[in-house]
Amino acid sequence: MPGFEFFGAEERKHLQDVMDTGILMRYGFDGPRKGIWKAKELETAISNYFGCTHAQLVSSGTAALTTAMSALGIGYGDEVILPSFTFVASFEAVLSVGAIPVMVDVDDTLTLDPEAVRKAITPKTKCVMPVHMCGSMADMEALQSICSEHKLLLLEDACQSIGASYKGKMLGTIGDAGTFSFDFVKTITCAEGGAVMTNRKDVYLACDGYSDHGHDHTGVDRGADLHPFIGYNFRISELHAAVGLAQIQKLDQFLAIQKKNHAALKAILSTIPEISFRRIPDPVGDSCTFLSWMLPTEAITRAVVNEMKVQGVLAGNFYWFDNNWHYIRKWDHLKHSLTLNALSPEIKAAVMHHANKDFSASDAVMSRCVSTAIGLLWTEDQLVEKANRMVAIIQGVLHQQSVQA
């Protein structure tokens, strides 16, 4: 699943190129850098690989979301609709631009339920932000039609789904903008980094300036650049971009291994009739970083998770329902609006509103779901052994339940 499983000579080579010139910054120093532009090269590679006209590298996936939202003009008075199942970064980014996060239910795709999105639309809604969780996609056709009907922006958080596609288009390139994360556990990694992808030139130019203090990058040197608007520093370094460049060149290989291992694991788990799998709107587009499966009830799922823990099989299996970082149930810091600095009263009230909101539809799915991370380095024997141990545990719990019933 994560690219760090495959570090090697390629990463070292690109890093060495940067070390040889000593120019660790992505902008300027045109002479001394001797033609080495790793960030620019990676941006071109991203545009080519994923099929978008523009890519802007930044310092993290969270910074990519903040940058994209600013570039799309999302801010004070705007509501952004996003799913109850995501990483905390998604709502952090909404708050960072002074907008209001509106969390709504997910369905059995583990992503935004289009009907829940429809119901949450108000005159303040400005953007719908699907999060393509665990390597697979939201129902983009349904969300696109909602956005065009209500004239809303569509921003894809594709941080976890690098290399997945929907009906032939790469995730992250379908909406007005999309984001990737290259943090240490993502499909390709450069330690810390992210990207905004867009087919809109205005959005790209805004991202380019915003992520570098508002520099318009048209001056003859940095000091001569103009500052048409206020920005921040979300720059990526050449060292990080160098590692990213090595990793994107291996992405085809990562995806091929993931698909093979995912299919093998799914075939073995499918022998249990009580197991169902996450619904995937376009199965051929799944990047297969995870296999997400469901059992009939929360009680059975909890018993299985517990037994996997006891037998030491839990590593690499994620029960998101109890996870502090990926599901709304445990986000007490959000529900109590625990910020270090004061929020506007209006935003604070809107955020705290989530404490009493009904997420029973999400709970009904998430309480029965386990995601198994697909290893890139598994041997065939290791995969079969892992799968067989999982099957034995699941069958044991199901048998016990039927005896008790």
Ligand X SMILES: *Cc1c(COP(=O)(O)O)cnc(C)c1O
Rank residues 160 and 261 by Cβ distance to ligand X and give the closer one: 160
For tokens 């994360």, what's the residue?
181
Q: Are strands 290-294 and 369-373 parallel, antiparallel or unpaired?
A: antiparallel
The DSSP symbol for 231 reads -
Minimum Å distance from CB 130 to ligand X? 10
Stretch that binds ligand X, among 71-79, 82-90, 99-107, 116-124 (CB under 6 A): 82-90
The DSSP symbol for 138 reads -
Task: Give residue number: closest CB to ligand X.
Answer: 61
Contact between 87 and ligand X by CB under 6 A: the answer reads yes
**Residues 164 and 285: beta-carbon distance below 8 Å:** yes
Cα separation of 300 and 47, whole Å? 45
Stretch that binds ligand X, among 44-52, 86-94, 146-154, 291-299 (CB under 6 A): 86-94
Cα separation of 190 and 175, whole Å? 25
Task: Give residues with Cβ within 8 angstroms of 221, minimum separation 6.
Answer: 28
Q: Is 261 helix (H, G, I), strand (E, B) or coil?
A: helix
x/- track of binding to ligand X for residues 181-220 (CB under 6 A): x-x----------x--------------------------
Stretch that binds ligand X, among 135-143, 152-160, 347-355, 358-366 (CB under 6 A): 152-160
Query: 196 - beta bridge partners?
Result: 56, 179
Cα separation of 284 and 220, whole Å? 47
Rank residues 157 and 238 by Cβ distance to ligand X and give the closer one: 157
Query: What do you get for the CA distance between the two ends of the chain, in Å?
Result: 39
Stretch that binds ligand X, among 5-13, 154-162, 316-324, 359-367 (CB under 6 A): 154-162
Task: Give residues with Cβ within 8 angstroms of 271, minimum separation 6.
Answer: 391
Helix, strand, coil shares, percent, the chain, to 5: 45, 15, 40
Q: Considering only residues 56, 160, 187, 237, which one is a binding residue for ligand X as defined by CB under 6 A?
A: 160
x/- track of binding to ligand X for residues 27-66 (CB under 6 A): ---------------------------------xxx----
Binding-site size for ligand X (CB under 6 A) equals 14
Cβ count within 10 A of residue 346 = 11
Told to judge if 186 belongs to the known catalytic residues of this protein, a careful annotator would answer yes
| Per annotation, catalytic residue among 38, 126, 186, 386 | 186
Rank residues 365 and 397 by Cβ distance to ligand X and give the closer one: 365
Minimum Å distance from CB 33 to ligand X? 26
Rank residues 93 and 300 by Cβ distance to ligand X and give the closer one: 93
Contact between 155 and ligand X by CB under 6 A: the answer reads no
Contact between 372 and ligand X by CB under 6 A: the answer reads no
Q: Is 144 helix (H, G, I), strand (E, B) or coil?
A: helix
Rank residues 86 and 258 by Cβ distance to ligand X and give the closer one: 86
Of residues 239, 135, 127, 141, the one with CA closest to residue 193: 239
Contact between 157 and ligand X by CB under 6 A: the answer reads yes
Stretch that binds ligand X, among 83-91, 119-127, 281-289, 351-359 (CB under 6 A): 83-91
Residues 106-145 that bind ligand X (CB under 6 A): 131
Of residues 175, 235, 264, 276, the one with CA closest to residue 38: 235
270's tokens: 């499918």
Cβ count within 10 A of residue 55 = 24
Contact between 86 and ligand X by CB under 6 A: the answer reads yes
Contact between 105 and ligand X by CB under 6 A: the answer reads no
Minimum Å distance from CB 186 to ligand X? 6
Cβ count within 10 A of residue 333 = 11
Contact between 11 and ligand X by CB under 6 A: the answer reads no
Minimum Å distance from CB 60 to ligand X? 4
Rank residues 82 and 255 by Cβ distance to ligand X and give the closer one: 82
Minimum Å distance from CB 115 to ligand X? 22
Q: Are strands 165-166 and 317-318 parallel, antiparallel or unpaired?
A: unpaired
Q: Considering only residues 58, 74, 89, 303, which one is a binding residue for ligand X as defined by CB under 6 A?
A: 89
Q: Is 348 helix (H, G, I), strand (E, B) or coil?
A: helix
Residues that bind ligand X (CB under 6 A): 60-62, 86-87, 89-90, 131, 157, 159-160, 181, 183, 194
Catalytic site positions: 186
